[in-house]
Structure 1
Amino acid sequence: MVVMRLLELYCWVLLVSCIFVNLHAFGILDSRNRLVWKIGVFLERITEPVLAPVRRMLPMPGGIDFSPMVVLLAIQYLLEPALMKLLYSLAVG
C-alpha cells in the first residue's frame, strides 16, 4: 500500500508541476524570486527523469507538451492495476 500512496503522491507532484510551469510561462510567477526558483528546481528534478524519455518519444504538436498526461494515464491505467494484481496475488497466495 505504500507503493500505491507514493504513486498517488507522484501524480499530485506532476499536476502541481504542470500548473507551476504554466504560471511561470505566462509570467504570473517570477523566477527571480528565490522561493519560486527553488520550487521550480525541485519540481523539475522530481518530474524530469520520468518525463524526459516520454518527451523524446512523443511529437509536440503546436508546441504542446503531452508527456505529463501520458505519464499520468500510464500510472492510473497501467501501473496501478498491475501493482494491485501483484499485491493481491502475494496476499492470497
Structure 2
Amino acid sequence: MGMIEGIIIQLLYLYSWVVIAYILMSWFPNARESSIGQFIGSIVEPYLAPFRKIIPPLGMIDISPIVAIIALRFATYGVSAIFSMF
C-alpha cells in the first residue's frame, strides 16, 4: 500500500508543478501558443475551469490557479490520511 500511496502523492506533486509552469507561461508572450504550451494547456485547463467558474478574475489577476494548487495540496494530505488508515 505504501508504494501506491507514494506514486499517487508524487503524481499530485508533479501535477501541481505542471500547473505552476502553466501559470508562469502566461508571463511570456506566445508561450501558451507553442506546442508545449498547448499540451500543458490541454492537461491543466480542464482542472482549472471549475475554479475559474467559482472565482472570477480580479481585474487582470486570476487567483483561481492558486486556489487550485491549494486544493491539490489538500488532496495530497487526504491521500496520506486515507492510506494511513490501512
Match of 1:16 in 2: 21
TM-score (structure 1 length as normaliser): 0.78
Percent identical pairs in the alignment equals 30
Match of 1:3 in 2: 8
Q: 1:58-88, CA deviations, whole angstroms, 9 ceiling, x for partnerless residues? A: 1211121111100111111x21111101111
| 1:30 to partner: Cα distance | 8.9
Q: 1:1-53, CA deviations, whole angstroms, 9 ceiling, x for partnerless residues? A: 110000000011011111112212xx6x594xxxxx10111011010010011
Q: Is the 8 A contact 2:25 2:32 kept in 1?
A: no
Q: Is the 8 A contact 2:22 2:40 kept in 1?
A: yes
Q: CA RMSD in A?
A: 1.7
Match of 2:75 in 1: 79
Greater helix share, structure number:
1
**What's the secondary structure of 1:61's corresponding residue?**
coil
Higher RCO (C-alpha under 8 Å, 6+ residues apart)? 2
Q: How many residues align?
A: 81
User: Is 1:61 the equivalent of 2:58?
Assistant: yes
Q: 1:52 aligns with which of 29, 44, 49?
A: 49
Name structure 2 gaps, 5 residues minimum.
Answer: 1-5
Partners in 2 of 1:51 and 1:20 — Cα distance?
A: 15
Q: Looking at CA atoms only, which structure, 1 or 2, has the larger radius of gyration?
A: 1
Name structure 1 gaps, 5 residues minimum.
Answer: 32-36
